[in-house]
Amino acid sequence: MKATILYEGKHQWTVFGRDPDKPEKIIDTNQYLVSTPSRALLIDPGGIEIFSSMLAATLHHVSVDQITDLFASHQDPDIISSLGLWDQVLPNARLHSPWLWESFIRHFGLNNIEYVPLPDDGGTIDLGDLSLQLVPAHYLHSSGNFNIYDPQAKILFSGDVGAALEADGAPMFVDDFDEHIPKMKMFHQRWMPSNRAKNDWVSRVRRLDVDILAPQHGRLYRGADVKRFLDWFEALEVGVGV
Amino acid sequence: MARIKDERLAEGEVLVSVTVIAAELSEVMKIAKEISIGAKNAKAIAARAGDKARGFQPITNFIDDMARHTLTMVRQIDQEALSVSRICSQEIRTNDAKRRMHDVIRRVEHPSLLKSFQGVVTDIDARLIALRREFDKRLDHLAELLDSINSDMRAATAISSSCRVEASRAEEFREGLGVVADNLEQAVEVIKKHVKECSSRLQHAQRLKQAIYKK
């Protein structure tokens, strides 16, 4: 699995994806690791099929003992169906996820890890010296859904917002925004159900200082492409798949 | 010794085998309830027959006791089969975790990176051993419970013969009590058939398990 370091300061952001061993018919996903010298958070650690690749890739950056926290932006299988396996590897970890999905996510197998139910208005994930902000992104697309913002690294993990359906092995960053639009248009029109939720999210995200917008599928946006994406998304009518 | 091609499919087959036992026994429960009701009817006929069915009365109590004991055993087996099925599911998941952990070891290029991971693998191995022990223990208990029903049925076969003898002495009540004996005999045969099927499933699960352990 390909690993790309997004930020390196007192803490580090790494994105994992483009797994060449992934079974053909499952959607490619981006997993994120935020690590401090003593702790680490896995963001949307992925489905059961990529668990081995993901854990192997993670061990190149942090030790198992260091992974203290998991985050699942919402309940989808590509986000967190690997939970039953993580539960055996990280029995003392905590899973931060929307309160709305607790009784559903537990179906993936949760016997040891502690479920931390996130209230609708968000809050923070505390990793000791590092505090990450939970940005509500409800109905984008899931009815209980969060993004993560790191004000130091200026990275916004945006979940399914900004996602695109790409060919295997696509580059990690958008290099030509206009060329990228066809790859993400249908995804947003079909999966995002609410214009009101979308516009509210765009106005809140515009107030954040974002260098990298990091979705869970497809390429990441950096620099001027972040604003380009927000403008495009604001103008797009969503929930029109039917 | 059973031979297996695919360990995961064999694990699934074990799970199905033990889970089917509970379903198979729901039919036994229905029949045992019918026997118990039949015993109560027989008791009423024997009471009406008075001295003409004197030998029949203690038999009806025995039939009722036997039916109730069978019901208790079936309920226990049902619970036990469910527990075994749950343990089996946990074992499948833990085995899956073990396979994936070994896959991780294969993928990590530098052994030094696996230092923190070794404890995880050891824990999973220990969990798997504990689950296997629990599974074997429970499976043996299931076999004992099925044997207990078989003993009941052997006793019931003897009772149905006594029923027939006593019915033949009951003059005008002969036909009514003869039906009781017939019903009991048929019910016992059906229960035996279901218990045999359960025992065969259980033995199949045990054989597959041994083959999986050896692999």
- DSSP labels, A106-145: GGGT-SSSEEEEEPTT-EEEE-SS-EEEEEE-TTSSSSS-
**Model confidence pLDDT, tens digit, residues B157-210:** 888 888 888 888 888 888 888 888 888 888 899 999 999 999 998 999 999 988
Helix axes B7-49, B56-107, angle to 10 degrees: 170
Q: Report the C-alpha gap between B73 and B146 in whole angstroms.
A: 8
The pLDDT of residue A144: 98
Which residues pair with residue A159 across a beta bridge? A215
The pLDDT of residue A111: 86
Find the CB nearest B113 among A52, A59, A65.
Answer: A59
Q: Residue A78 domain-assigned?
A: yes
Chain B residues with CB under 8 Å of A91 CB are: 123
Structure-token match 């559903």, residue found: A104
Cis peptide, bond prior to residue B194, ω within 30 of zero: no
Q: Residue A16 domain-assigned?
A: yes
Rounded mean pLDDT of A20-35?
92
ipTM of the complex: 0.71
Find the CB nearest A52 among B100, B116, B124.
Answer: B100
The whole domain housing A131 covers 2-235
CATH number at residue A179: 3.60.15.10
Measure the CA angle with vertex A149, ends A146 and A151; round to 5°. Answer: 160
Chain B residues with CB under 8 Å of A51 CB are: 100
Q: CA of A85: which chain B residue's CA is closest?
A: B97
Q: For chain A, say whether B115 makes contact (Cβ under 8 Å).
A: yes
- State the nearest Cα–Cα gap between B124 and chain A, in angstroms: 7
The pLDDT of residue B2: 62
Give the distance between the most distant pair of CA atoms in chain A.
48
Q: CA of A67: which chain B residue's CA is closest?
A: B116
Q: Residue A242 domain-assigned?
A: no
Domain ranges of chain B: 7-214
- State the nearest Cα–Cα gap between A114 and chain B, in angstroms: 18
B171-191 residues labelled b (16+ CB within 10 A) or e (exposed): eebbebbbebbebbbebbeeb
Rounded mean pLDDT of A80-101?
94
Chain A residues with CB under 8 Å of B103 CB are: 52, 56
Exposure on the CB side of residue B65, measured as CA atoms within 13 A: 8
Mutate to test the interface with A, among B87, B109, B117 (most CBs of A within 10 A): B117
Exposure on the CB side of residue A40, measured as CA atoms within 13 A: 21
Inspect the interface and report whether the beta carbons of B116 and A66 lie closer than 8 Å.
Answer: yes
Q: For chain B, say whether A53 makes contact (Cβ under 8 Å).
A: yes
Q: For chain B, say whether A148 makes contact (Cβ under 8 Å).
A: no
Statement: residue A242 has pLDDT above 60:
no
Chain A residues with CB under 8 Å of B104 CB are: 52, 55-56, 59
Inspect the interface and report whether the beta carbons of A51 and B100 lie closer than 8 Å.
Answer: yes
- State the nearest Cα–Cα gap between B111 and chain A, in angstroms: 11
Q: Residue A240 domain-assigned?
A: no
Find the CB nearest B124 among A51, A84, A88.
Answer: A88
- Exposed (0-12), middle (13-18) or buried (19+): which is B132, by Cβ within 10 Å? middle
Q: For chain A, say whether B133 makes contact (Cβ under 8 Å).
A: no
Q: For chain B, say whether A85 makes contact (Cβ under 8 Å).
A: yes
Q: For chain A, say whether B120 makes contact (Cβ under 8 Å).
A: yes
Inspect the interface and report whether the beta carbons of B93 and A84 lie closer than 8 Å.
Answer: yes
Comparison of pLDDT for A69 and B208, the residue scoring more:
A69
Domain count, chain A: 1
The pLDDT of residue A227: 98
Chain B residues with CB under 8 Å of A84 CB are: 93, 97
Inspect the interface and report whether the beta carbons of B97 and A89 lie closer than 8 Å.
Answer: yes
Rounded mean pLDDT of A67-89?
95
The pLDDT of residue B13: 85
> Collapsing DSSP states into helix, strand and coil, what is residue A79?
helix
Task: Answer yes or no: are the C-beta atoms of A44 and A159 closer than 8 Å.
Answer: yes
The pLDDT of residue A8: 97
**Model confidence pLDDT, tens digit, residues A110-142:** 988 999 999 999 999 999 999 999 999 999 999
Q: Mark which residues 162-181 of A lie under 8 Å from B by CB.
A: none
Inspect the interface and report whether the beta carbons of B108 and A60 lie closer than 8 Å.
Answer: yes
Chain A residues with CB under 8 Å of B116 CB are: 59, 63-66
Query: Of the ranges A20-34, A139-153, A198-212, B6-20, which one carries the lowest mean pLDDT score?
Result: B6-20
Low-confidence ranges of chain B (pLDDT < 50): none
Q: For chain B, say whether A88 makes contact (Cβ under 8 Å).
A: yes
Inspect the interface and report whether the beta carbons of B113 and A60 lie closer than 8 Å.
Answer: yes
